[in-house]
Amino acid sequence: VPFLQRCIQLLFLPIHVLVCLGLWDSFYKKVFPYIMATVAPIYNHKVYKQKRELFSNLRKFAGPSGQLTLLEIGTGTGTNFQFYPPGCRLTCTDPNPNFRKFLLKSLSENRHLKLEHLMVASGEDLHQIRDGTVDVVVCTLVLCSVTNIKKVLTEVLRVLRLGGAFYFLEHVAADHSSWTYFWQKVCDPVWKYFGDGCSLSGETQKELEKTNFSELNLRRIHVTPYWIPTSPHIIGYAVK
């Protein structure tokens, strides 16, 4: 694996140099939203059935007022908006401010939602949101690219009210004995350059299991095409 990793890094040596010089990140953060605006609808089409099923019970976590207060971490281009119930009070966070115009476009196409806050913030630091004030937190294809999953999940627990839920859909590490995992490890160092810090071999399920949720509903799925390193996923929700 280390030998193949070095071979791939040599192929992308110019980008590696830009990373070392600190020039790649600022450039790619401007480009990445345009890439996601193209890729996200394709991905959404593939997992439409799974997402519709996942978010079908959001309403049951609404607070006493009957309105659902929902926080989405790493909102990106807003591809999940179509699955949220009408009247949902929405707070969006993303560490990349360049997603803003794409997110606002998605909101204009989903007028059944009410945007309350739009914040530039990482999942590891949600200090602008008070403790226990959120009914539901949503996080899809985000935990693979955060710097510290444990900190994100700690923040999720803090902002959720008792009885609130955390919804997730994430690509994860394959079975360690599989060829898919082998190629995940080989491609990981370079993949992070193009996935804005995304890791192919994250053990997100283990972190969820270690977090102090009262209930964890999780299953593994594969997204087509099955041969690509991002095919293995986990999907489900956890209750505080």
pTM: 0.95
Helices (H), 172-232: 179-194, 204-210
Contact predicate 55/68, CB 8 Å: no
CATH entry, 1-239, from 3.40.50.150, 3.10.110.10, 2.40.10.10, 1.20.1540.10: 3.40.50.150
At residue 6, the pLDDT reads: 87
pLDDT at 9: 85
Give the integer Cα–Cα distance in Å for 50 and 44.
10
Least confident of 11-15, 31-35, 159-163: 11-15
Using one digit for the tens of pLDDT, what is the confidence trace for 43-100?
A: 999 999 999 999 999 999 998 888 999 999 999 999 999 999 999 999 999 999 999 9
Average pLDDT over residues 167-190: 96
Q: What is the pLDDT of residue 63?
A: 87
**Position 224 pLDDT exceeds 90:** yes
**H-helix or E-strand spanning residue 165:** strand 160-171
Which band of pLDDT confidence, cut at 50, 70 and 90, is reported for residue 18?
very high
Domain spans, the chain? 1-239
In 10 A of CB 90, how many CB atoms? 22
- Averaged pLDDT of the chain: 95
Predicted pLDDT at 217: 97
Neighbours of 42 (CB within 10 A): 8
Q: Is the pLDDT of residue 139 over 90?
A: yes
Task: Report the percentage of the chain scoring pLDDT > 90.
Answer: 91
Tokens at 137, concatenated = 């937190």
- Dump pLDDT digits (tens) for 106-129: 999 999 999 999 999 999 999 999
